[in-house]
């Protein structure tokens, strides 16, 4: 029994103090001792994940700034179906939405109709209604949301948009949902794709992250980097048109035309047909996956006689022969256990280097490789010209080609002679074009490239500086100029169907056999022509390759198919590139 106010006061004070102590002790326990236990629970209560809508990917432009691949905004529409209402309301909603979403009311009713499981009535159930809708549905859906159908959801997305349809399909390529793909889209996807990170932090009741959260910069949102290519869409479209016409004219199964600037290595056009629609890649994936690999950089072939210019250049540059070298062509040469003959099966008597290229003599090329250079010398030049190595052009799935070297266990002496005229060695059209560009560019191979400029979202612009493919040029300027002059003379003297009026053109044809199981196809060939112009200061190099032309059998030669294609397109191509006629230059310098 407490007596007196003082005692009661002391008791109350004591109890209050005890309560305060208990509270303090609890606070210490919660915030210090059991901190790790409660922290996640508190965070779960206070914090929510948040993110921003996906910014667009980088666009791909041609060298003049015209759009090749852009971004189209699309929308996915969904609904929290547990909130739609009873069957009557759902029917009304289905009828009202069918016009907006372009779906039948029955299909929409099936999607919207929801029967909750007893005892689970409060569960949120979201269902997608339509995907990939255009921007025109946005206003409709938003007005419906304002009218009270707030359970309708609108999810913005981006879709790649190919402004020129299937133009340069192989070069541009695509990336599928799993991140795999082809062409520049795949090779440069780390640059092109936007960066969006999710963040977690305190949010308001409306799930809006607090300002200080945003200020912390936990949420990283960057659009993709824009790429400016070296391709010119006008030239690309023109070249594709010419290739399409050539395929029809010669009945060829497929073909490739490359246009590059030998002085810089910039690819101005890379056309291969038949093409595919990169925006509809899913239509092909089940049946024809091989269709996506770029024939210009990802498919190899045996180049045939075009390689003779490389053999001649190597022989001259190595000092194995002199420019006035000549030999007696008996029409056959036996080496490494095989017999080599000329393509016309004829003997051509005494021939010099010009005669070797003019008549495209296999025996001459084999003689240079086998009797003058030897395997070590020959293959050191083959490597120096880039065969068997990636050119690093910057597209996905680039092939290295197939070169059998003396150190390979499968290599035999016969490879030396067959390789000298382009058989038994496989390369991509790009590798061949790049190697011949050394002859047009005074001995230097410039690294082929497609991306001229990268425009970062922060405003920084990084331009690609043209550079040499290898530190040391494969051949000297004197050798390159001499062989290039031989090629110009060959076009003037022998390839009348490759002549371009007003321009001095250097070139070499090739007709290569197609390897099949157990040998070569007896009837099908790949014809090609590689040329540069205007001599003596070439500004453009063109490679034309036609696969399996079906014209008259005796006309299935590079001179009869690929060379005329070049001649037909070159005049307008030079005009598009602003290259004045050589004759005009000579006239004005006089």
Partner 1 sequence: MSVRWQRRTHGVSVRQEKIDPMTVRLFALSIAIISVLMALYLALTASSVRLSVRLWSLHNEMAEIQRENGRLGTEIARLSSIPVLIERSVRLGYGQPESIEYLIVGGP
The smaller minimum CB distance to partner 1, of residues 571 and 580, is found at 571
User: Rule CB under 8 A: is residue 132 a binding residue for partner 1?
Assistant: no
Q: Residue 489 has which token pair? A: 């003379």
The smaller minimum CB distance to partner 1, of residues 221 and 405, is found at 221
Mention every residue, 6+ apart, whose C-beta is less than 8 A from residue 239.
Answer: 257, 259, 269, 271, 569, 573
Segment 143-172, which members bind partner 1 (CB under 8 A)? 156, 158, 161, 163-165, 167
Q: Which helix (H) or strand (E) holds 514?
A: strand 506-516
Closest CA to 229 of 299, 166, 168, 186: 168
User: Rule CB under 8 A: is residue 212 a binding residue for partner 1?
Assistant: yes
Residue with tokens 């070069």: 171
CB of 564 to partner 1, least distance (A): 15
CB of 554 to partner 1, least distance (A): 29
Q: Residue 64 has which token pair? A: 């003049």
The smaller minimum CB distance to partner 1, of residues 19 and 208, is found at 208
CA distance 354 to 326: 9
Helix 477-493 and helix 429-440, axial crossing angle in degrees, nearest 10: 100
Q: Residue 236 has which token pair? A: 């690309």
User: Rule CB under 8 A: is residue 6 a binding residue for partner 1?
Assistant: no
CB of 178 to partner 1, least distance (A): 24
User: Rule CB under 8 A: is residue 459 a binding residue for partner 1?
Assistant: no
User: Rule CB under 8 A: is residue 196 a binding residue for partner 1?
Assistant: no
Closest CA to 438 of 428, 447, 429: 447
DSSP tag of 209: B
CA distance 187 to 476: 34
Binding partner 1 (rule: CB under 8 A), the pick from 70, 262, 278, 401 is: 70
Q: DSSP string of 285-313?
A: HTT-GGGGS-TTTT--B--GGGGHHHHHH
Mention every residue, 6+ apart, whose C-beta is less than 8 A from residue 386.
Answer: 431, 434, 435, 445, 469, 470, 474
User: Rule CB under 8 A: is residue 116 a binding residue for partner 1?
Assistant: no
Q: Which stretch binds partner 1 (CB under 8 A): 212-220, 263-271, 333-341, 454-462?
A: 212-220
Q: Look at strands 451-455 and 226-229 and give their pairing.
A: antiparallel
The smaller minimum CB distance to partner 1, of residues 241 and 392, is found at 241
User: Rule CB under 8 A: is residue 201 a binding residue for partner 1?
Assistant: no
The smaller minimum CB distance to partner 1, of residues 58 and 558, is found at 58
Q: Which stretch binds partner 1 (CB under 8 A): 30-38, 200-208, 292-300, 366-374?
A: 200-208
CB of 137 to partner 1, least distance (A): 13
The smaller minimum CB distance to partner 1, of residues 3 and 471, is found at 3
Q: How many residues bind partner 1 (CB under 8 A)?
A: 33
Segment 554-573, which members bind partner 1 (CB under 8 A)? 572
User: Rule CB under 8 A: is residue 224 a binding residue for partner 1?
Assistant: no
Segment 420-439, which members bind partner 1 (CB under 8 A)? none
User: Rule CB under 8 A: is residue 206 a binding residue for partner 1?
Assistant: yes
Binding partner 1 (rule: CB under 8 A), the pick from 47, 56, 153, 200 is: 56
The smaller minimum CB distance to partner 1, of residues 96 and 218, is found at 218
User: Rule CB under 8 A: is residue 234 a binding residue for partner 1?
Assistant: yes
CA distance 530 to 566: 9
The smaller minimum CB distance to partner 1, of residues 279 and 301, is found at 279
The smaller minimum CB distance to partner 1, of residues 163 and 191, is found at 163
Residue with tokens 């010669």: 250
DSSP tag of 29: I
Closest CA to 260 of 270, 275, 245: 270
DSSP tag of 331: S
- Asked if 231 and 267 count as a contact pair (C-beta separation under 8 A), the reply is yes
Binding partner 1 (rule: CB under 8 A), the pick from 22, 23, 208, 402 is: 208
CA distance 501 to 365: 30
Specify whether the backbone of 474 is left (phi greater than 0), alpha (psi in -120 to 50) or beta: alpha
User: Rule CB under 8 A: is residue 204 a binding residue for partner 1?
Assistant: yes
CB of 105 to partner 1, least distance (A): 29
CB of 230 to partner 1, least distance (A): 18
Give contact residues for partner 1 (rule: CB under 8 A): 52-53, 55-56, 59, 66-67, 70-73, 135, 156, 158, 161, 163-165, 167, 204, 206, 208-214, 223, 233-234, 237, 572
């Amino acid at each position: 029994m407490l007596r007196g106010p003082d005692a009661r006061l002391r008791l109350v004070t004591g109890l209050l103090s005890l309560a305060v102590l208990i509270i303090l002790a609890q606070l210490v326990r919660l915030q210090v001792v059991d901190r790790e236990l409660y922290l996640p629970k508190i965070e779960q209560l206070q914090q929510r994940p948040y993110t921003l809508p996906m910014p667009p990917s980088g666009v791909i432009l041609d060298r003049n700034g015209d759009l090749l691949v852009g971004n189209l905004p699309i929308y996915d529409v969904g609904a929290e179906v547990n909130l739609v209402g009873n069957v009557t309301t759902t029917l009304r909603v289905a009828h009202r939405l069918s016009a907006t979403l372009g779906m039948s009311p029955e299909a929409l009713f099936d999607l919207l109709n929801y029967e909750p499981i007893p005892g689970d009535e409060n569960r949120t159930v979201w269902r997608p209604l339509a995907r990939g809708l255009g921007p025109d549905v946005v206003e409709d859906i938003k007005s419906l949301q304002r009218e009270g159908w707030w359970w309708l959801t609108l999810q913005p997305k981006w879709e790649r948009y190919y402004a020129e349809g299937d133009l340069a399909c192989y070069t541009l390529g695509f990336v599928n949902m799993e991140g795999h793909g082809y062409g520049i889209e795949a090779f440069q996807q780390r640059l092109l794709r936007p960066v969006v990170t999710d963040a977690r932090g305190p949010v308001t009741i409306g799930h809006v992250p607090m300002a200080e959260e945003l200020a912390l910069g936990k949420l990283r949102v960057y659009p993709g980097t824009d790429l400016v290519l070296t391709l010119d869409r006008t030239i690309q479209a023109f070249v594709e048109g010419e290739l399409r016409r050539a395929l029809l004219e010669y009945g060829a199964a497929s073909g490739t035309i490359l246009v590059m600037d030998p002085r810089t290595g910039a690819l101005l056009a890379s056309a291969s047909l038949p093409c595919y629609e990169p925006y509809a890649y899913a239509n092909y994936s089940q049946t024809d996956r091989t269709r996506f690999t770029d024939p210009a950089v990802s498919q190899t072939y045996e180049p045939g006689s075009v390689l003779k210019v490389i053999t001649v250049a190597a022989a001259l540059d190595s000092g194995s022969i002199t420019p006035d070298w000549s030999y007696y062509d008996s029409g056959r040469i036996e080496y490494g256990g095989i017999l080599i003959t000329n393509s016309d099966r004829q003997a051509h008597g005494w021939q010099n280097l010009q005669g070797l290229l003019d008549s495209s003599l296999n025996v001459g090329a084999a003689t240079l490789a086998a009797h003058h250079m030897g395997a070590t010398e020959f293959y050191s030049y083959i490597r120096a010209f880039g065969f068997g190595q990636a050119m690093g052009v910057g597209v996905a799935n680039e092939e290295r080609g197939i070169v059998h070297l003396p150190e390979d266990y499968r290599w035999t002496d016969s490879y030396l002679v067959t390789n000298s005229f382009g058989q038994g060695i496989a390369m991509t059209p790009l590798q061949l074009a790049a190697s011949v560009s050394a002859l047009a560019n005074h001995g230097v191979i410039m690294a082929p490239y497609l991306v001229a400029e990268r425009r970062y979202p922060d405003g920084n612009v990084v331009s690609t500086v043209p550079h040499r493919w290898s530190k040391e040029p494969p051949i000297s300027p004197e050798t390159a100029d001499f062989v290039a002059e031989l090629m110009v003379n060959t076009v003037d003297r022998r390839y009348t169907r490759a002549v371009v009026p007003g321009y001095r053109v250097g070139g070499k044809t090739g007709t290569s056999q197609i390897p099949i199981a157990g040998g070569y196809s007896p009837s099908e060939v790949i014809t090609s022509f590689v040329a540069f112009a205007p001599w003596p200061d070439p500004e453009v190099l063109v490679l034309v390759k036609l696969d399996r032309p079906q014209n008259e059998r005796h006309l299935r030669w590079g001179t009869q198919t690929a060379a005329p294609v070049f001649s037909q397109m070159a005049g307008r191509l030079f005009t598009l590139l602003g290259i004045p006629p050589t004759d005009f230059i000579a006239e004005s310098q006089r």
